[in-house]
Amino acid sequence: MAESPSLRQLVEGATALLAEAGVNSPRVDAIALAEHALDVERLVLAMAPELPRGFPTAYAALVERRRRREPLQHITGTAAFRHLRLQARPGVFVPRPETEVVAQHAIDEALCLRRQGLDVLVVDLCCGTGAIALSVAQEVDGARVVAIDRSPEAVDLTGVNAAACGLAVLVAAGDVADPGLLADLVGRVDVVVSNPPYIPPDAVPVEEEVRDHDPDLALYGGGADGLDVPRAVVRSAARLLRPGGLFVMEHAEGQAAAVRADVATTERFTDVRTDTDLTGRDRMVLARRAMPPDDRG
């Protein structure tokens, strides 16, 4: 009777299959799938647990789904973001590591204000899974956080993630193009942060996980340049922020100059600049809500 393959052999075989399929991180994904199948948080192959009956077959089915380029997060049902492990579902944009820098700017600003003994109000527009909003709520004690998305699926999932993480975030449906959005918060928000859809219609993503599985509503920003939704976010931020408040918004690498121009065109911001993501690419705009003319001295 042939000896059953070890976990190490199964993972090595899965790694080879995923690499051949073009998966960017084949070994990492192979191990993550094994962790999911074994229901363990962290797997050390040198100290592998005894494999349950039927594990090779169950593991092979998971690997096949990933080989077909189904997102890892959809298979495992979870997505890691900063210090959080969030639920992930088809129909809602999967958060990316690059967006962690966007969240960091919002967190740093909120922390600075809290250290001064001030109340802090942060609004996350186009919240998706709630990754940014929940990170702020987790890392900035006492911050009041509001998360908004147009997608009912995203609103529901953010609420689920907030409850699962035990974090108090106000989650609501809303369209950033609505001039009445969050009317009760106009001029009162300390930080507006956003990772909106911004892909132009002719820049279809190459990665199958993105192109075939992330919802179009969360990918394509509208208009020939993909910036219709980001421009609406800019206008919303201009309304919602208090004087001196911080605006942070993610965009595509080639959109930096256009986004800075859009922010400047409102004539309501100062200190407009571009910052880079984890890979050093221009991926976000930062700006301060300008002081009213009478307060500029």
**Model confidence over 15-46: pLDDT tens digits?**
999 999 999 999 999 999 999 999 988 887 77
**Model confidence over 250-263: pLDDT tens digits?**
999 999 999 999 99
- Which of the following CATH numbers is that of domain 81-295: 3.40.50.150, 3.90.79.10, 3.50.50.60, 3.30.450.40? 3.40.50.150
Instruction: Work out the average pLDDT over 147-162.
Output: 98
DSSP 233-277: HHHHHHHHEEEEEEEEEE--GGGHHHHHHHHHHTT-EEEEEEEE-
Q: Which three-class secondary structure state does DSSP give residue 92?
A: coil
Q: To the nearest whole number, what is the mean pLDDT of the chain? A: 94
> What is the pLDDT confidence band of residue 76, given thresholds at 50, 70 and 90?
very high
Which long-range CB contacts under 8 A does 44-51 form with residues at least 24 apart? Answer: 45/7, 45/8, 45/11, 48/6, 48/7, 48/8, 51/4, 51/7
**Model confidence over 117-133: pLDDT tens digits?**
999 999 999 999 999 99
Closest CA to 195 of 151, 149, 242: 149
Instruction: Work out the average pLDDT over 68-82.
Output: 96
Please answer whether residues 216 and 226 qualify as being in contact, where contact means their C-beta atoms are separated by less than 8 angstroms: no
> What is the pLDDT confidence band of residue 3, given thresholds at 50, 70 and 90?
low
- Please report, rounded to a whole number, the percentage of residues in the chain having pLDDT higher than 70: 98
Tell me how crowded residue 46 is: count the other CB atoms within 10 A of its CB: 5
What does the domain layout of the chain look like in residue ranges? 7-68, 81-295
Give pTM, 2 decimals.
0.92
